[in-house]
Structure formats: structure tokens, C-alpha cells
Structure 1
Amino acid sequence: MLFYYYAQVVLRKQLNEVSSSLYTQDANQGRTGRPSWSGASKVDGRFASIHWENLQAWRNRLPEHLKWNDGDSPATNINAARLRGKYYGAAYIILRPFLYHAVEHMGERYKFTFEGPQLKQLPRVNLKLPGVNREERRPPTREEAEKAEEIIMAARMCVESAMESTVAFDGVNPGSRWIVTNIHGTAQAQFGNLLVLAAVRSSWLRDLVNWERLEALMHRTINLLRNLSPISPTARVNLKVLDTTWRSLQGDTSYGDRQHGPTSANSSFS
């Protein structure tokens, strides 16, 4: 129990640092109404890379009986589930600026094969890359292609982290209410994960989000919100939003029709 406690204390401190360095709102938000990171104009990949390295160092230093492998089934022990959920939640918010940049500021000409080994460290690049722009018509240079591939790989890791974070508690007493500090906060985070995954599925990076897996995540999260809706007005609203989003995705057949739907990246990443 003490090992779990201390591991989560360290991770919580890291998350606080991530929030202050990557997601701090500045005076620009007063004019734009959006956090500075979402425009991808001030996010420096070096900061995200440092946070990513710290997160991996934390994971590597865990005692053997607390460690797990990516792709393992959700933990059946509540403390292990909390630890994994917090880790994947941290990975998701560290990597999310890369995913946002890929969806909003890149396009089909940067479409690479999404299979391959995961990055051991994040690309140390400023996300405002000259030429890595969806409006460009010329083929990317070799340097641009290499940078774009790194960003797409980081985006793929972000998608995987969002999925793992969403199901982190699913192995604990299946069918029963989770023993968590704040069930509503947990449901809210999972709702946000699904909106971002839907936005990615509706973008040129749709291949990053497996349809069958997204369908399973949508159904389980909609059911969770439905169970909470009698006691939570927020859950009722989120249920309607997610149900509408899912219906839109099911009828979504062409990239050109996705530009104005409820799953646009601007709204989902906000």
C-alpha cells in the first residue's frame, strides 16, 4: 500500500508540473478564448520531451510487483488500476499537443505508415514547423517528412494512452460501481477522451483509431454516463453529446463531410 501511495504522490507532482508548463493560459487567451497550447504556436516539443522522459523514468523505477506491460488486460486490483490509469492519463496530456498539431496543422501529404516501434523519447522540436502545414501542395522535404513522422508517432502514442486511460478501471469488479475518489471526475475524463478520439477518427489521421476498438469504448462510456445521469446533470449533458457524436461518426463516410460536424478537432481538443 505504501509503495502505491508513494508512486502516486510522485506522479501527482509530475502532473502538476506538466499542467503549469504545457497548459498555462496567458493573456492571449483573453483575446482568443482558447489556451495558448491549442494554437500550437508556443508549445515547444522540448518541454514535452522532458516531461515524457521524467514519466518513463518514474515508470522504470517502480518496484517489480507494481510494473506492467502496455497492452496488458486492465488490472483487477483497485490500487494497480489507479496507478495505471494515472500513468496513461499523464501520458495522454503530455502527448496531446502533438496530436492536436497533427490533426489541425498537417494533412494527407504527411500520411505515413502508422505501424512500427514506439518512440523511446519525444521529438525535441518546436511544433510550429515551417512547411508542416495542411495547406501546402508541394511534396514535403526530407527534413519536413522526418519531423512530421516523429509528430505522427507521438500522436499515435497519445491515442493509445487515451484508450488505455479510459479502460483502466474496467477490470475492477466488472458490472459493479468502481471504488474511486470521484466517480464523476473519472467519468468526465473518459468523456473527454472519447471526444478527442472521435475528432481524430474524423480527421485525416483516422487510421490511428481502430473502428472496432472505438465502438467498444463508445458503448462502455455511453453506458457509464447513462448510469450516472439520474444523479448528475453534467452526466446527462455529456451523455447527449457523446451519443450525438457517436451517431455522427456512424453516418460519417467521407473526409470532406467531416469539417463541420460535432467532432471537429477545435471543439474536441478545447
Structure 2
Amino acid sequence: MSWVGPMYRFDEDDPPASDILSARLRAKYWGSQVITYRPCIKQILDLSYRLRSKANPSLLHVPYSDLPQEIRDELHVLPQETWDHAQKGIRSLIESTQAFHGLGDKRPIITNVFGTAHAQWGNLVVLAACYCDPFLRQHIDAPKLRDLYHKTIGFFGKLRGTLVP
């Protein structure tokens, strides 16, 4: 964080910022991480889907522990680095999504409301896909994902000028 001015410097484990400039900086930071690591998430999701649908379409909704061992083994041929990057990508998706959740109830002044809303919703869609995948689900806490959805929809309400319960 040496590249960030002292006023806006943050630790990756800090809660969401309470001022708009800090929130935007964090959203940009985490968004760049999302772009960097998203290909690894996609690689795992694609391979997982292909293996499960090829073996038996009924396996598409089976939990990890109930998958045949040969499918689990086949997916784990991916390098450990891919798995590590996917895990970092999931964290980045979560952090990027919640970057604006500390701003309170006032409508934030954002230059590109539609771009911001699109990025937030896109993050949630990818997180939902990861949660539905038996291999990536272990990196997502269900109550946290639910909370992200509720807070992000509330954030959208602030953007349009009304609060959504």
C-alpha cells in the first residue's frame, strides 16, 4: 500500500470504508484483483461442469462429497496455482462487492452509476456460480453471500435515491 496516500491507505482485512473516495479506491483495487484472478475461476468452473455433465448429467447438482472419486481426481490435475488464484479471486469478488457497503444511508455521488451497479451485480453472479459448484463452494460462506446480496440490493436503492428494505 505504499502507493496510496496516507489518508487513503488501507489494510486488505479492513472493513468497508465510510467515505466515498476511500470506497472507490478500494473498489478499484479489488476490481483489478477480480480481473486478474477471474480466468482461474472460469477455468475451474468450466472443467468442473464438463467433467460432471460428461460423466452423468445428474451429477450437476451433487455435493462434492457425493461425486465419484475419479471426477474429483480429474479436476485436481489443475495446478495448485490455479486453485490458489481462484481462491484469491473469490476473496476479491467479495471485497469488491462490499467496497461501498460502509457508506451509510446517504446516496453516494458516483460518476458512473451504471458501471458501478453492473460491476457489483456481475460480482454477485460469479459468486453465485462459485457457490453452486461443488469444488469452489467451500470458499464461500452462505450467510456472507446472502448478506452481500441484501446489502448490494440496498446499495442499488441508494443509487436510485430510495432505500430498499
TM-score by length of 2: 0.73
1:178 to 1:154, Cα distance in 2 relative to 1, 3 A: same
Matched residue, 1:219: 150
Matched residue, 1:235: none
Query: For 2:100, what is the secondary structure of its paired residue?
Result: coil
Matched residue, 2:139: 208
Q: Map of 1:59-208 to 2, 5 A cutoff?
A: 59-106=1-48, 137=70, 139=73, 144=77, 147=79, 149-172=80-103, 174-204=104-134, 205-208=136-139
| Cα deviation, residue 181, structure 1 | 0.7
C-alpha separation between the residues in 2 aligned to 1:89 and 1:71?
A: 16
C-alpha separation between the residues in 1 aligned to 2:4 and 2:156?
A: 33
- Structure 2 residue ranges without an equivalent (≥5): 52-68
Matched residue, 2:62: none
| Cα deviation, residue 211, structure 1 | 0.4
1:102 to 1:164, Cα distance in 2 relative to 1, 3 A: same
| Cα deviation, residue 72, structure 1 | 0.5
Alignment RMSD (CA, Å): 2.8
**Aligned residue identity for 1:70:** E
Matched residue, 1:132: none
**Aligned residue identity for 1:153:** D
**Aligned residue identity for 1:78:** I
C-alpha separation between the residues in 2 aligned to 1:230 and 1:72?
A: 28
Matched residue, 1:10: none
| Cα deviation, residue 79, structure 1 | 1.4
C-alpha separation between the residues in 2 aligned to 1:216 and 1:201?
A: 14
Query: For 1:101, what is the secondary structure of its paired residue?
Result: helix
The number of residue pairs the alignment matches comes to 141
**Aligned residue identity for 1:137:** E
C-alpha separation between the residues in 1 aligned to 2:84 and 2:15?
A: 23
- Structure 1 residue ranges without an equivalent (≥5): 1-58, 110-135, 232-270
% identical equivalent positions:
33
**Aligned residue identity for 1:189:** A
C-alpha separation between the residues in 1 aligned to 2:133 and 2:157?
A: 27
- Higher relative contact order by CA 8 Å / sep ≥ 6: 1 or 2? 2
C-alpha separation between the residues in 2 aligned to 1:210 and 1:189?
A: 21
C-alpha separation between the residues in 2 aligned to 1:220 and 1:93?
A: 22
Query: For 1:137, what is the secondary structure of its paired residue?
Result: helix
| Cα deviation, residue 150, structure 1 | 1.8
TM-score by length of 1: 0.46
| Cα deviation, residue 203, structure 1 | 0.6
